[in-house]
């Protein structure tokens, strides 16, 4: 079978599994986020937190709950990293320095999971389990909570801005969705060869007769939620290229499905929550169009692009695992950068110039195709509001979405949300390229070196977490600056989205009229895809021209 048909077959299998999971998982998410009864274990959690899960919160209170919970999470994780040598199961690891602890804490709390460190050389088992793995669940649950609040805001009419209860949303999404799925997946991964133990370093003798120290650990349990929660932080430095995390081609295909399955199922939940499933289908169509395009382009760039793939033996296999090959590596790279996952099964620094450019653009679009758990969907809803507003300006249609008027305040919130990420990426990159400490981190100079820096800030500002591989980022300069980029890239859009939810919830629903723009038609899907590419993508044309484009032409 030719390499092309292998690539098509892999993509087809992933699409079929995602299609089969869309309805049942989307319906389960809907039932979870609209339930009126509480499980016994959930009640215990509410009692421990001393919160009333039935008390509705205005958007501002909901936001304060998100920020307060996230701040507490950062402090706890920072403490674990600083004190890990005094904790059980430290396996001889030293405490992280203050700048590194700050970066790691912010990274996992913001669902970025950027790792300046090698997991097997810097993190003990307790830090991995009680710190990083716990935040993998909670940061994903925060994303589900925020998009659920936005859906309630759109669906409600004439309230005082109440959009639900953050604590109930957080607990339900964790207990009823993430924990059960992660448990089942972890068992499947163990069956596939992913390790799960509490072993420290073990001395083994290789087939060549050499002695090697091999680290064990609770890998499968972390790998499961790492992909399901679109987190991406790996137990080992090689991430999903490591055989202990991703041993075989079928576990690789499973991990691709896992990092896409919740984001691609959430549009169905949204459609049901707003009372119109067609809205979910249109969002799914736009997300799928962008994802398929990215997968196709990156696969072409790595496998068959004329003049792109080296003619020497091995082709474009530099930085890729032979057990996966070019096609599976390209599929993984496109999927992980089109979501906020950041996991890698190959080194993106070794992608062709065009392939690396596709991966970078996938993040720079705001990771809305399908994006992270929750964050991709609320990012796409923001772009829907932009599309509706622009269409209203062009053809005289009434600027409204699902019966809610889009006026000056609404479009101001949306504009700020759209501009936040580009500001973080471009300002951070500009500081790095004019600062000796920033330039010192480059592995290469010229266009490729610029791409290394821009990729790092795109990864941080979009809460992705993948690395280009060449940038030395474990320095006080990059740990501090990238940490700030992660915070701003995560919580400023959340604040603006919740404010938008409150604005929508306080409005009375307006019946559709002759001037209302339908937002569920193929025409609107095309408009939404165009807006995503133009409004977001064109912002980065100059810096892309100086990086991947110049490198590919040279």
- pLDDT average, residue stretch 249-274: 96
Lowest mean pLDDT among 63-67, 330-334, 449-453: 449-453
Average pLDDT on 387-404 reads 85
Query: Which one has a higher pLDDT value, 221 or 467?
Result: 221
Residues near 497 by Cβ (< 8 Å), separated by ≥ 6?
146, 150, 378, 381, 382, 417
CA dihedral angle for residue 357, residue 117, residue 88, residue 184, rounded to 10 degrees: 10
Residue 31 has what pLDDT? 97
Strand runs labelled E in 60-216 = 162-164, 201-205, 211-215
Task: Kindly tell me if the per-residue pLDDT of 552 is higher than 70.
Answer: yes
Residue with the larger pLDDT of the pair 212 and 423: 423
Rounded CA-CA distance 336/92 in Å is: 32
Query: pLDDT-derived band of residue 546, with 50, 70 and 90 as boundaries?
Result: confident
**The predicted structure's pLDDT at residue 419:** 93
Confirm if 262 and 143 have CB atoms less than 8 A apart.
Answer: no
Instruction: Note the pLDDT of residue 310.
Output: 53
Do 532 and 290 contact (CB within 8 A), yes or no? yes
Tell me the backbone φ, ψ of residue 398, rounded to 5 degrees.
-70, 125
> Does residue 50 register a pLDDT over 50?
yes
For the segment 35-42, the average pLDDT, to the nearest whole number, is 93
The domain limits of the chain are 3-204+212-553
* pLDDT tier, 2 (very low <50, low <70, confident <90, very high otherwise): low
Q: What is the DSSP string of 476-500?
A: HHHHHHHHHHHHHHHHHHHHHHHHH
pLDDT band at 487 (very low <50, low <70, confident <90, very high): very high
Q: What is the pLDDT of residue 355?
A: 87
pLDDT digits (tens, 9 = 90+) for 150-195: 999 999 988 888 999 999 999 999 999 999 999 999 999 999 999 9
What is the pLDDT, as a whole number, of residue 312? 45
Check whether 535 has a pLDDT greater than 50. yes
Average pLDDT, the chain: 90
Q: 3-state DSSP call for residue 433?
A: helix
- Angle (CA) 144-230-546 rounded to 5° is 115
What would the mean pLDDT of 460-470 be, rounded to a whole number?
86
pLDDT for 305 equals: 54
Percent of the chain with pLDDT over 90: 66
**SS in 3 state form for 257-295?**
HHHHHHHHHHHHHHHHHCCCHHHHHHHHHHHHHHHHHHH
User: Average of pLDDT values for 514-543?
Assistant: 87
């Amino acid at each position: 079978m030719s390499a092309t048909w292998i690539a098509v077959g892999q993509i087809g299998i992933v699409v079929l599994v995602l299609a089969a999971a869309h309805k049942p998982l989307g319906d389960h998410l809907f039932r979870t986020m609209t339930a009126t009864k509480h499980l016994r274990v959930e009640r215990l959690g509410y009692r421990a937190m001393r919160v009333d899960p039935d008390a509705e919160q205005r958007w501002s209170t909901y936001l304060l709950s998100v920020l307060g919970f996230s701040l507490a999470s950062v402090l706890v994780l920072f403490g674990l990293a600083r004190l890990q040598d005094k904790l059980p199961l430290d396996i001889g690891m030293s405490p992280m320095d203050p700048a590194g602890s700050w970066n790691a804490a912010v990274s996992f709390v913001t669902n970025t999971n950027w790792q300046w460190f090698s997991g097997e050389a810097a993190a003990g088992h307790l830090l991995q389990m009680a710190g990083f793995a716990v935040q993998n669940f909670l940061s994903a649950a925060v994303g589900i909570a925020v998009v659920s609040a936005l859906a309630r805001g759109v669906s409600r009419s004439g309230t005082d801005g109440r959009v639900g209860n953050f604590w109930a949303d957080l607990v339900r999404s964790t207990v009823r969705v993430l924990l059960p799925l992660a448990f089942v997946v972890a068992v499947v991964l163990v069956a596939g060869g992913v390790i799960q133990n509490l072993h420290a370093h073990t001395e083994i003798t290789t087939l060549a007769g050499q002695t090697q120290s091999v680290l064990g650990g609770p890998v499968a349990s972390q790998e499961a939620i790492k992909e399901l929660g679109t987190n991406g932080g790996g137990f080992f430095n090689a991430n999903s290229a490591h055989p202990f995390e991703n041993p075989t081609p079928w576990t690789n295909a499973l991990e691709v499905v896992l990092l896409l399955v919740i984001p691609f199922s959430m549009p169905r939940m949204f459609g049901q929550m707003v009372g119109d499933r067609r809205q979910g289908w249109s969002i799914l169509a736009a997300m799928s169009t962008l994802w398929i395009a990215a997968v196709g382009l990156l696969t072409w760039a790595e496998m068959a692009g004329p003049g792109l793939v080296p003619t020497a033996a091995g082709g474009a296999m530099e930085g890729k695992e032979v057990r996966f090959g070019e096609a599976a590596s390209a599929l993984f790279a496109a999927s992980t950068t089109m979501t906020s996952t950041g996991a890698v099964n190959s080194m993106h620094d070794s992608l062709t110039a065009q392939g690396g450019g596709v991966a970078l653009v996938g993040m720079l679009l705001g990771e809305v195709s399908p994006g992270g758990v929750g964050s991709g969907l609320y990012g796409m809803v923001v772009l829907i509001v932009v599309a509706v507003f622009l269409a209203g300006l062009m053809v005289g249609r009434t600027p409204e979405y699902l019966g809610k008027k889009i006026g000056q305040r609404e479009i101001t919130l949306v504009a700020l949300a759209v501009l936040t990420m580009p500001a973080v990426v471009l300002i951070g990159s500009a500081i790095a390229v004019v600062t000796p400490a920033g330039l010192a981190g480059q592995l290469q100079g010229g266009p490729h070196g610029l791409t290394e820096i821009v990729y790092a800030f795109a990864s941080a500002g979009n809460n992705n977490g993948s690395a280009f591989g060449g940038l030395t980022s474990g320095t006080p300069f990059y740990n501090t600056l990238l940490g700030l980029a992660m915070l701003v890239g995560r919580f400023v859009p959340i604040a603006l989205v919740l404010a938008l939810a409150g604005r929508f919830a306080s409005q009375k629903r307006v019946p559709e009229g002759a001037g209302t723009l339908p937002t569920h038609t193929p025409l609107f899907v095309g408009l939404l895809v165009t807006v995503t590419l133009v409004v977001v993508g064109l912002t980065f044309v100059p810096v892309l021209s100086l990086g991947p484009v110049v490198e590919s032409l040279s």
